[in-house]
Structure 1
Amino acid sequence: MIRAFDVVFALLGLIVGFPVLVLIGLIGLFDTGAPLFRQVRVGRHQKPFTLVKFRTMKKGTASVATHLADGSSITSFGRFLRKTKLDELPQLWNVLRGEMSLVGPRPGLFNQTELTDAREKQGVFRVRPGITGLAQVNEIDMSTPELLAEVDRRMIDSMSLKNYFRYILLTLQGKGSGDRVKS
């Protein structure tokens, strides 16, 4: 049932949001020269997939977890995209492709071995990663891998249509600040 909502909402979001996606892409082109950012992430059953986002950091920035990234590499436009969470919009394509869900554990990087191990122990990889979830709306990020894995597990165990819509609504209302970046 949730997969059906994912497909419908992702498709609607891409169609209705197309003008916004194009506008952000054009501004991003002038901001960084490459508006889209692609990165291989850990997916369901630990299979790799390529996550797509709007670029918020300068080209050439090291591919590390956000909390380890240098904050000075974030562009002014990138700060706006992160604050409004508009940088996440291209991930609707990942949702449509079945690589992600709107709600689920945020996908980590393969070099985040501590997080991957903690999530493996908690059984987190049995579900699709998501754009938002319980950890995100409670400002728990990848800098605390054990806690994040525990919260992801709690979300998975308590997932219902009500919680699915609750996490989406809280995200749209601006709850949660996203992953912290080093200053």
Structure 2
Amino acid sequence: MKRVFDIVASLGGLLVFALPIAILAWRIRRDSDGPGLFAQARVGRHQRIFVCYKLRTMRADTANAATHDTPSSAVTPLGTTLRKWKLDELPQLWNVLKGEMSLVGPRPSLPMQAEVIHERAARGVYALRPGITGLAQVHDIDMADPRRLAEADARYLAERSFLGDLVLILQTVTGRGVGDHVAR
């Protein structure tokens, strides 16, 4: 049922948000050097690497690092707004449609985040598809705290339900959680 919901919701979301994504990507390109879309390798289900898509919120020359290890000065002015409203995540609907992600699940880490990967693997979290949002995100637990993050992800794994996913989606849409914090 979860996969069917993911397919229907991501397809519907892509149809509704295709034009806004295109306009935002154009605006990003106009406001700063580099592409409007950002593609980055991430760790997915069963620790398989996949390419995750987002609207670019940081300068194009920003080092490939975890968000919490990236200075806030790397975020563009438009990127600040996109991140605040979580609009930078919209292209991940494509990842959901392809089956690489789910709407709800643990946020996918970077392959270089060894401690996050270790903590999640120890708790069986990689049995799940990563998500656009998840339990840890709505509780403001980011990847800077790998153990706490993996514990929240494992709690989601143990307690997940369709109704619970709908609640997490609603909490995300209404502004609960802020995602990974950039370094100050």
Q: Check whether TM > 0.5.
A: yes
Give 1:60 shift.
1.5
Letter in 2 for 1:18: A
Letter in 2 for 1:104: G
Q: Which residue of 1 aligns with 2:99?
A: 98
Whole-angstrom distance in 2 between the partners of 1:174 and 1:85:
9
2:103 aligned counterpart, secondary structure: strand
Q: Which residue of 1 aligns with 2:157?
A: 156
Whole-angstrom distance in 1 between the partners of 2:35 and 2:155:
37
The reply on whether 1:48 has 2:56 as its aligned counterpart is no
Q: Which moved more, 1:25-34 or 1:161-170?
A: 25-34
Q: Which residue of 2 aligns with 1:6?
A: 6
Give a deviation string over 1:152-176, Cα, whole Å, max 9, x none: 0001111111101000000000100
Q: Which residue of 2 aligns with 1:180?
A: 181
Aligned residues: 183
Give a deviation string over 1:81-114, Cα, whole Å, max 9, x none: 0000000000000000000000000000111001
Q: Which residue of 2 aligns with 1:146?
A: 147
1:139 aligned counterpart, secondary structure: coil
TM-score (norm 2): 0.98
The reply on whether 1:23 has 2:53 as its aligned counterpart is no
Q: Which residue of 2 aligns with 1:169?
A: 170
1:52 aligned counterpart, secondary structure: strand
Give 1:70 shift.
1.3
Whole-angstrom distance in 2 between the partners of 1:31 and 1:99:
30
1:37 aligned counterpart, secondary structure: strand
Letter in 2 for 1:141: D
2:80 aligned counterpart, secondary structure: helix
Structure 2 unmatched ranges of 5 or more: none
Q: Which residue of 1 aligns with 2:80?
A: 79
Give 1:29 shift.
1.2
Q: Which moved more, 1:18-27 or 1:45-54?
A: 18-27
Letter in 2 for 1:6: D
Q: Which residue of 2 aligns with 1:120?
A: 121
Structure 1 unmatched ranges of 5 or more: none
Give a deviation string over 1:59-97, Cα, whole Å, max 9, x none: 021111100011101000000000000000000000000
Give a deviation string over 1:110-165, Cα, whole Å, max 9, x none: 11001100000000001100000100000000000000000000011111111010
Whole-angstrom distance in 1 between the partners of 2:126 and 2:82:
28
Give 1:31 shift.
2.0
1:51 aligned counterpart, secondary structure: strand
Moved over 4 A (4+): none
Q: Percent identity?
A: 50
Letter in 1 for 2:22: V
